[in-house]
Structures are given as C-alpha cells and as structure tokens.
Amino acid sequence: MPAARQEGPLAIICGGGSLPLAVAEFVAGRGRPVVLFPIYGAAEGGSFERFTHHWVYVGQIGKFQRHARAAGCRDVVFIGALVRPSIWQVHPDFKGLTCVARTLAGMRGGDNHLLSTMGRILEQDGFRLLGAHEVAPEILVPQGTLARAQPTERDQGDIALGLDYLHAASPFDVGQAVVVAGRHVLAVEAAEGTDGMLDRVAALRASGRIRAPLGSGVLVKAPKRGQDLRFDMPSIGPRTVEGIVRAGLAGIAVVAGSTIVAEPERLVQAADRAKIFVIGIADGKVA
Amino acid sequence: MPAARQEGPLAIICGGGSLPLAVAEFVAGRGRPVVLFPIYGAAEGGSFERFTHHWVYVGQIGKFQRHARAAGCRDVVFIGALVRPSIWQVHPDFKGLTCVARTLAGMRGGDNHLLSTMGRILEQDGFRLLGAHEVAPEILVPQGTLARAQPTERDQGDIALGLDYLHAASPFDVGQAVVVAGRHVLAVEAAEGTDGMLDRVAALRASGRIRAPLGSGVLVKAPKRGQDLRFDMPSIGPRTVEGIVRAGLAGIAVVAGSTIVAEPERLVQAADRAKIFVIGIADGKVA
C-alpha cells in the first residue's frame, strides 16, 4: 500500500486492554509503521516491546508531540480504556500545563467534551486525529450475529426498546448502554460504566428484585448522537460476556459498524459456551 | 367535616415506612375513620394497634375486600414502600388467584402497569382509589426550600439538566431520579431505586471516578409523565438525606406538589445538620 507509506507512520496512544496492540498489528500488517504511546496507569501489562514505543503520563502532551514529530507521525489514534485519571496521575509537562485550563473547561461537559478538547489541542498543533476503526476496520462489530445463539422475538422487542431509550437519552452525554428485560428498562449506564451496570443487574437478580426469568434480558449499547467516534466508541469484549452471564441475561446487541470488539475469538468462544447471543444491528434498527 | 363522614371510613393499604401511619393520623385527625391493611413482608414494625387493622398478604384481595366492605369503606388508599414481592410472599386467596393472570400481564410493562392493573381490579369491584396526597395533602413537598441551605447557581443548572433528562426518559417507565453534578449526569435510577443509586454514587466517589468536588451535585426526582400518582409517587425522607451525605452531594430537588416527604421534621433536622438543601420546584421548572 504505497498510499499508507506516504502518510508516514501512525502514532497510537494506548489506553488499557487488548485493543491497542490489536490495532497496531492490523496497521503494521498492512505495511504502515506504528509508534506506540502507552499511558502510565492504563496500559501496563501490554507487550509493547514488539513496536517502537514511548511510555507517557496522561499530561505529557509535550513529550508525546516531540516523539511523534521526531518519528514523522502526523496521524494519531487514541484507543483503549482510560478511566478518568486522578489528578496525581496526570504528570503534566509544560505543554500539558498550557492545556490544563482548556481541558478542565472541557471536563465540565462530560467525557465527550473532555476527549474532544484534548483532540482539538492536538489538531491545532498540526496532528490529524483518526478513529482506530478508520485505520483498522477489522475491530468493528459487523452486521448479524457473531456467535451461535440467535435473539428470540422477545429479545428483539427488548433490543428495540433499548435503542429507543438510548436515542432519547442521547442528547445528555450520559451512558451508552441499558439493560432491558421483558420490555422493562432495568438499568441505565452513566458514570459507572458497562461492567458496573452489569454487576448491578446481577445484584438485583440475586436479591429477587428482577421479575424477568434467568436467561432473559439484553444489554443494548449504542453511540451517543454526535459522539466523536475517534475518541470514544462503544466496545465489547470477553469481559462483557462474563458480565452478561453473571447478570443472567440472554445476549448483547450493539450497532454494527459503530462498535469495537476486543478479542473477537475469545468473545465468541465465551458466548458459545454460555449460549449468549451477540448481534450487530444495522444503524440503529433491529435487523 | 360532615362531607368526610358521608364518605365513610377510609381503607388504607399499608406498605413499609412511616408514611402509612402518618397518613392515617392526618385523616383520622380530620374526623374520618380509617381501617388499615398492613401488608405482610412490608409493613412489619409499624404501630398499627392504634387503629382498626387487618394484616393481609399481597395476594389476599378477597380478604381485603371482605373486611373493607364490612367496615363500610368505599375509598381506598395505597401508601408505603413495597418491594416487588417474591412469588412465595403473595399468598393469593381465591379472589387473588382470579386476578393473577391480569396482574402478570400488567407486570410486563413495569411498575406503573403492575400497580395500575391492581388498581383497575379494585375499581371494577366498586372501590374508589385515591392518592394518599388527596386525603392527606400534608405529606406533599411544598414549593421552596425545606431546610436552611439554598441551592447555588451551579446547583440550579444541575437541577435544570436533571429535570430535562427525566422528561426525556419519561416515556420509558424507567426510574424517577438522576444524580447530576457539574452539568454531567452521573447516575440514572432504574430497578435499583433511589437509595441504590445514591450508594453507587458514593462508591464512584470513593474510587475517584467522579470529578465534581465533594459537596457538589444534586439528586433530582420527578414523576414520570402520565404516572398514576395514586399508586406510585416520588418520595423523600430522612434516609434520602443520609444517602445524599454518603454520596457527597449538595442537595435534593423534587417537584413540589407531586412528591411525598416522609418524616419531614427528621428530614429537615438531618438536612440542616449536613448543610444539604432540599427544594420543591414548581411544576418541572427551576423556581
């Protein structure tokens, strides 16, 4: 791919989980060099030594920019989990400090604004921010079911209600996920994240507060309207399936082409073992 | 009050908490006799011996109707907390069994439908269902602040956003409450209830996942659109204030005239001790 080579190497800022290395491998496999920037406090445990890499603290925007420019990177991708850092983990360098005011201003508006503020800072300095799915479309959930189990008609009703709810709540920059069972919204995700929400459903089941029978109910995830998918995309992985099993649900529905799947083989194996369905829905409509 | 006497005694079906006895006292204090029906598994611990009373299981609709008719009651009020009973706590009598199919059908649509189905059954049998606030308006939150603390301008912004969110989510028969801090929705209530949601916010704070400083953020509660206030009204009490303190929030905002307050003196004392504001907002708008 000569076009890719003309674009120069790709800088990948790496949060936690397996996705950053998966993206690096897909991109490198296509012949485009990558330079990784694993973030302290998030990316520990990854095998970054296979690639050129530089560890950075969240606030070391200057260090990142120096290394990225020296390597000839103009394109930047951010990928992986990033719990909002405690102020002690930020370690801002001089460039980072000059950004603090704007970043704090962005934080008031929720995660979307925080991340897009940081993105704007990089773009003003001449970088181009891409979504991980643009450089490695292999990580996206396709349309249709990923594992053997299929959603029932009842599940499809729950999926439709969940998508309607997420659509209605979308202007509020709140969570991207709900649990629906028997046409009843059991849980809505906000700051606790999807895993936290699934744990709550498991606890509600254990205390008998959920009427819907074991093995019914669906986790529905969708991007927020206007969400900048370059920073924050709905994602699922093997851990999501574990949460579904603990919560006693029937399956997972996400928006095809707008959802990232981490470790797809392990996810499908776990789903098949637990007889959980995993479905990519076409653009907000039930397939 | 001769009108009240013409209406005959009032049947009060009593769930948990202090509200059923408070309502009974307000109604009896106005000269109208009351007959209480405390529910096993919910109302234990109340001092019902001061009034004529008959303990019932949730499913003993026949027993309830016999005693209520024998006492000359046509008007019925349901008040107090009622966690969805486990099937073993229902103890249906014959009349209860005939209602089971319709009640189960109602359950699929969420709490609203469950309660309104039970209400329709009583009304078809000649009873008249009233809201507790109709017979004892003293239990409603009035407009304005209840305790000494006042919401700041920042709090008022959070309240407005919370009411907007609840309005948008209202068609889905989901929770009636959110926590908003710094114009960011931190938590949305569904099946876990308000206390469960406040515990979650406390845990998120403890783990450093909430940016908003301690002592900021608001619990906002509002009735669902079209909610039948005779069965299920947003309510607050001293325990809500305890939850607010644990969650590190600034205060509580509810809709004046559509929210019940349990033990108002204890609530105000607890709020003043913790410097928490408690405000009744006029009809969905920030006062």
Question: In this predicted model, what pLDDT tens digit does every residue of A43-61 receive, in sequence order?
Answer: 988 899 999 999 998 778 8
- Asked whether the beta carbons of A150 and A137 are under 8 A apart, the reply is no
- Asked whether the beta carbons of B84 and B42 are under 8 A apart, the reply is no
Of A259, A270, A269, A287, whose CA–CA distance to A19 is shortest?
A259
Residue B204 C-alpha, separation from nearest chain A C-alpha, in angstroms = 7
* pLDDT reported for residue B224: 82
* Average model confidence (pLDDT) across chain A: 86
Strands A10-14 and A34-38 come out as parallel
Strand order from edge to edge, sheet including B128-130? B52-53, B34-38, B10-14, B75-79, B128-130
- Phi and psi at residue A19, to the nearest 5°: -65, -40
Strands A260-261 and A235-236 come out as parallel
Residue B73 C-alpha, separation from nearest chain A C-alpha, in angstroms = 33
**Residue A134 contacts by C-beta under 8 Å, 6 or more apart in sequence?**
A230
- Asked whether the beta carbons of A280 and A141 are under 8 A apart, the reply is yes
* pLDDT reported for residue B88: 58
Neighbours of A65 (CB within 10 A): 20
- Asked whether the beta carbons of B280 and B143 are under 8 A apart, the reply is yes
- From chain B, the residues in CB contact with A172 under 8 A are 161, 164-165, 168, 185
Of A177, A178, A181, whose CA–CA distance to A154 is shortest?
A181
- Asked whether the beta carbons of A135 and A27 are under 8 A apart, the reply is yes
Q: Does B28 touch chain A (CB under 8 A)?
A: no
Bridge partners, residue A56, by sequence: A39
- Phi and psi at residue B16, to the nearest 5°: -85, 170
* pLDDT reported for residue B57: 86
**Per-residue pLDDT at A284 exceeds 70:** no
Return the structure tokens found at B145.
Answer: 């602040």
Return the structure tokens found at B115.
Answer: 């309660």
* pLDDT reported for residue A108: 45
**Does the beta-carbon distance from A86 to B172 stay under 8 Å?**
no
Return the structure tokens found at B67.
Answer: 């005693």
Is the ipTM beyond the 0.85 threshold?
no
Of the partner residues A165, A186, A192, the one whose CB lies closest to the CB of residue B191: A186
Task: Round to whole Å and give the CA distance between B248 and A222.
Answer: 30
Return the structure tokens found at A270.
Answer: 């776990």
Confidence of residue A119 (pLDDT cuts 50, 70, 90): confident
Compute, in degrees rounded to 10, the torsion defined by CA atoms B250, B254, B257, B259: -110
Task: Round to whole Å and give the CA distance between A259 and A234.
Answer: 5
What percentage of chain A has pLDDT greater than the value 90? 60
pLDDT in tens, A5-28: 458 999 999 988 889 999 999 999
- From chain A, the residues in CB contact with B184 under 8 A are 108-110, 173, 191
* Tens digits of pLDDT across chain B (287 residues): 444 445 899 999 998 888 999 999 999 999 999 999 999 888 988 899 999 999 998 778 889 999 999 999 999 998 887 665 555 566 667 666 655 555 555 444 445 555 666 777 788 889 999 999 999 999 999 999 999 999 999 999 999 999 999 999 988 878 789 999 999 999 999 989 899 999 999 999 998 888 889 999 999 999 987 777 777 788 899 999 999 999 999 999 999 999 999 899 999 999 999 999 999 999 654 33
The model's pTM is 0.81
**Per-residue pLDDT at A198 exceeds 50:** yes
Task: Round to whole Å and give the CA distance between A82 and A68.
Answer: 20
**Does the beta-carbon distance from A172 to B186 stay under 8 Å?**
no
Average pLDDT over residues A114-131: 81
* pLDDT reported for residue B100: 56
**Does the beta-carbon distance from A191 to B169 stay under 8 Å?**
no
- Asked whether the beta carbons of B222 and B176 are under 8 A apart, the reply is yes
More confident residue, A4 or A29: A29
**Does the beta-carbon distance from A165 to B169 stay under 8 Å?**
yes
Of A77, A99, A81, whose CA–CA distance to A90 is shortest?
A99
Q: Which strand (E) or helix (H) includes residue A157?
A: helix A153-169
More confident residue, A238 or A287: A238
The count of residues in chain B is 287
Of B201, B183, B204, whose CA–CA distance to B244 is shortest?
B201
Which residue on chain A is closest to B83 by alpha carbon?
A209
Interface of B with A in 63-92 (CB under 8 A): 83-84, 86
Residue B107 C-alpha, separation from nearest chain A C-alpha, in angstroms = 8
Which residue on chain B is closest to A186 by alpha carbon?
B191
Task: Round to whole Å and give the CA distance between B121 and B114.
Answer: 11
- What residue type is assigned to position B68 of the chain? A
* pLDDT reported for residue A87: 55
Question: Half-sphere exposure of residue B52, counting CA atoms within 13 Å on the CB side?
Answer: 15
More confident residue, B233 or A84: B233
